[in-house]
């Protein structure tokens, strides 16, 4: 397995600039720094038909969301509820705006991007509570924004991939609205960080072991949270009955093995999961579409799977 030259360039540029890693900053500074960095290498100047910034009600208070209508939208469309990545500590609607615009246009879909609460100000399980509330609001209200209430999927990258499958597990538990599909992009599924990929890629590939520990310390409350299925969905008693999933992993990503394990366990327990590994890629590559060709390929794969599941 060889690191993709474009991914290597991204890592080399970061090294040359000698920027402080997020774990060297306070959470407040890390949030601001990531917000600036995340938009540097993503898609640029992506047109969109229309956007709606709303505050929807949730158990913990209002939740900001952004609804995207693709260019040329004329009729009701299937819906993707998207949860951004960022270790449950950094990231927001704006850091993933270009990605959500791209997904909306390529579908075409109505995309609902969720700005869930994060640590350390709002620790676990606040992100889960907001994510569940946003999904349920979408199922009940998206028709008002030309979304098809019968054709709703969830998706997200990293922490957002984690939240995407956690809201599905919660729906099974609560017998509430269950999405038709899950698009899980290098999802975090086990907080224990004990896999071979965690050891092999602990340093040098953006998402370091130190940074993951930093995220956990600013998201989780105590040791028992590590094995709570709402934080570590791989610890759930059962994965049976989950919606079909596309699980995408990156070859040089500490989270690779737990993503593969989640796909394997879904299939073993009767839920259908397709796993695709982007062997030369690093964690976070889906949001680096301005410089990484593999980001577009991965997005196109996700779009194709969504269209099949949502009967587009």
Kindly report, residue by residue over 40-76, the tens digit of the pLDDT.
999 999 999 999 999 999 999 999 999 999 999 999 9
Q: Give 124-141 pLDDT, tens digit per residue.
A: 999 999 999 999 999 999
For residue range 68-96, list pLDDT tens digits in order.
999 999 999 999 999 999 999 999 999 99
DSSP state of 19: P
Instruction: Report which of residues 312 and 107 the model is more confident about.
Output: 107
The token duo for 1 is 């397995």
**Which is the catalytic residue, given 113, 158, 164, 197?**
158
Burial label for 16, CB within 10 Å (0-12, 13-18, 19+), is exposed
Active-site residue, from 69, 84, 96, 283: 283
All domains of the chain in start order, with CATH: 5-309 (3.40.50.1820)
Residue 290's alpha-carbon distances to 45, 48, 78, 259, in angstroms, are 10, 17, 26, 25
pTM of the model: 0.98
Averaged over 158-179, what is the pLDDT?
Answer: 98
Q: Using CA atoms, how far apart are residues 132 and 255, in angstroms rounded to an integer? A: 23
What is the distance between the alpha carbons of residues 138 and 152, in angstroms, rounded to a whole number? Answer: 8
Buried b (16+ CB within 10 A) or exposed e, 163-202: bbbbbbbbbbeeeebbbbbbbbbbbbbbbebebebbeebe
pLDDT(312) > 80: no
Q: Is there a catalytic annotation at residue 222?
A: no
HSE-CB at 79 with a 13 A cutoff on CA atoms is 26
Question: Given this model, what pLDDT does residue 287 score?
Answer: 97
Evaluate the CA torsion angle 104, 186, 85, 98 in order and state its sign.
negative
Give me the pLDDT at residue 126, please: 98
Average pLDDT of the segment spanning 285-290? 97
What one-character-per-residue DSSP string does 96-120 give? GHHHHHHHHHHTT-EEEEE----TT
Q: Around 198, how many Cα atoms within 13 Å sit in the side-chain half-sphere?
A: 17
DSSP category for residue 147: E
3-state SS assignment for residue 258: helix
Q: Give yes or no: 253 in active site.
A: yes
CB 66 within 8 A of CB 53: yes
Contact 54/64 with Cβ under 8 angstroms?
A: yes
Closest CA to 284 of 185, 164, 184: 185
Q: Which two tokens stand for residue 36?
A: 């600036």
∠7-66-141 over CA atoms, to 5°?
130
Residues in the chain, total: 312
Mean pLDDT computed over every residue of the chain: 97
What is the token pair recorded at 70?
Answer: 């693709």
Among 97, 157, 228, 253, which one carries the catalytic annotation? 253
d(CA 80, CA 100): 9
Backbone φ and ψ for 77, nearest 5 degrees, come out as -130, 155
pLDDT at 18 over 90: no
What is the token pair recorded at 12? 């080399």
**Does residue 144 have an active-site annotation?**
no
Res 298: pLDDT: 98
Residue 1: pLDDT over 90: no
Q: How confident is the model at residue 311 (pLDDT cuts 50, 70, 90)?
A: confident
Please write the tens of the pLDDT for every residue from 252-264.
Answer: 999 999 999 999 9
């Amino acid at each position: 397995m060889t690191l993709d030259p474009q991914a290597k360039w991204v890592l080399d540029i970061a090294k040359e600039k000698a920027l402080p890693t997020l774990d060297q900053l306070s959470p407040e500074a890390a949030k601001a720094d990531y917000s600036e960095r995340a938009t540097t290498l993503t898609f640029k100047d992506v047109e969109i038909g229309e956007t709606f910034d709303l505050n929807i009600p949730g158990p913990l208070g209002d939740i900001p969301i952004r609804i995207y209508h693709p260019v040329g939208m004329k009729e009701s469309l299937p819906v993707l509820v998207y949860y951004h990545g960022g270790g449950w500590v950094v990231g927001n609607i704006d850091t993933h705006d270009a990605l959500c615009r791209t997904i909306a246009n390529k579908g075409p879909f109505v995309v609902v991007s969720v700005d869930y609460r994060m640590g350390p100000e709002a620790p676990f399980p606040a992100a889960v509570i907001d994510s569940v509330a946003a999904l349920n609001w979408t199922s009940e209200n998206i028709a008002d924004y030309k979304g098809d209430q019968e054709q709703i999927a969830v998706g997200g990258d990293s922490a957002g991939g984690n939240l995407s499958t956690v809201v599905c597990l919660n729906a099974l538990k609560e017998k509430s609205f269950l999405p038709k599909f899950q698009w899980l992009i290098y999802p975090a599924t086990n907080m224990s960080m004990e896999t071979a990929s965690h050891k092999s890629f602990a340093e040098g590939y953006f998402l370091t072991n130190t940074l993951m520990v930093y995220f956990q310390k600013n998201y989780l409350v105590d040791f028992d949270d590590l094995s709570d299925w709402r934080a570590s969905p791989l610890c759930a008693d059962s994965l049976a009955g989950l919606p079909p999933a596309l699980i995408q992993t990156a070859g040089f990503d500490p989270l690779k093995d737990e993503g593969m394990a989640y796909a394997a366990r879904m299939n073993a327990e009767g839920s259908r999961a397709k796993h695709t590994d982007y062997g030369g890629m690093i964690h976070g590559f889906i949001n680096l579409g301005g410089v990484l060709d593999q980001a577009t390929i991965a997005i196109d794969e996700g779009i194709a799977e969504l269209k099949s599941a949502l009967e587009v």
